[in-house]
Structure 1
Amino acid sequence: MKKNPREMLNEFMGGLQSVKDYSGEQVGAFMNLLGACYKPSKLDVKTKELISVGIAAYNRCEYCIVFHVYKALEAGATPEEIMEAAMVAVAFGGGPSMAYSVTLLKDSVEEFRKDFNK
């Protein structure tokens, strides 16, 4: 069954908020770590998001794929750059990474690129 990237993104973001009610300290600590890691430094945010896309495809983490494709587009990445990052993951992850790259990752790019006029 084909998954809807926008619904998955909303589900992930909503789940993150609701879990804060139970484990706010831990969720906050995780979000602080993300904030520190994605702060521009030697690498810009776009580059960090492209790395994240590759890692997500390699690990076959569906919510990570959806989230980081969105964030990569938001940071200024082009669909071509996102797919190239995914193909680097395929070099390491083989068939499973390819399967996620040509389905959910591709669908996420197509769904979210409209939000950023790409």
Structure 2
Amino acid sequence: MADVRKKLNDFVNGLEAVGHTNGEEVGAFMNLLGACYEPKTIDLKTKELMSVAIGIYNRCEYCIVYHSYKALEAGASKEEIMEAAMVSVAFGGGPAMAYSVTLLKECVDEFAPDFA
């Protein structure tokens, strides 16, 4: 089993470390994220649920870990996160289901108590 907290920390710390040598690029990426996740007509929780589904569909482990955490932080329930993942399964089939029932389930189980 993956250590999802380690993956989350590796991603966040990696962004910071690479930002020291490639600050312009990392900064541009972070500015894009900031603009995209700013609540406008769609609230942050919904955007994070969308991101979970897209991460599942794309089979991006770091995206799944990061956005499952951020979805919980934004107020999403475990049930909402898993429902969003099932939408990705409608498009991504077996591989999306595999990531949903393994890595995503582990993330939700691990991170949900942080926001209870």
Equivalent pairs: percent with the same residue? 68
Residue 89 of structure 2 corresponds to 90
Residue 110 of structure 2 corresponds to 111
1:52-74: CA deviation from partner (whole Å, max 9, x where unpaired): 00000000000000000000000
The 5 A counterparts of 1:10-49 are 10-49=9-48
Identify the residue that residue 71 of structure 1 maps to in structure 2: 70
- 2:61 aligns with 62
User: How many angstroms apart in 2 are the aligned matches of 1:96 and 1:22?
Assistant: 35
Q: Which secondary structure state, in structure 1, belongs to the residue aligned with residue 22 of structure 2?
A: helix
What residue in structure 1 maps to residue 5 of structure 2? Answer: 6
In 2: Cα distance, 1:99 partner to 1:22 partner: 36
Could you give the per-residue CA deviations for residues 4-54 of structure 1, whole angstroms, max 9, x where no partner exists? Answer: 111100011111110001100000000000000000000000000000000
Letter in 1 for 2:46: T
C-alpha distance in structure 1 between counterparts of 2:31 and 2:14, whole Å: 17
Q: Deviation of residue 100 (structure 1)?
A: 0.4
TM-score, with normalisation over the residues of structure 2? 0.99
For the residues of structure 2 that align with 1:53 and 1:59, how far apart are their CA atoms? 10
SS at match of 2:28: helix
Distance (whole Å) between structure 2 residues aligned to residue 107 and residue 24 of structure 1: 32
What RMSD in Å do the two structures reach over aligned CA positions? 0.4
Counting matched residue pairs gives 116
Normalised TM-score (structure 1): 0.97
| Secondary structure, aligned partner of 2:95 | helix
Specify every segment of 5 or more residues in structure 2 that has no aligned partner in the other structure, as ranges.
none
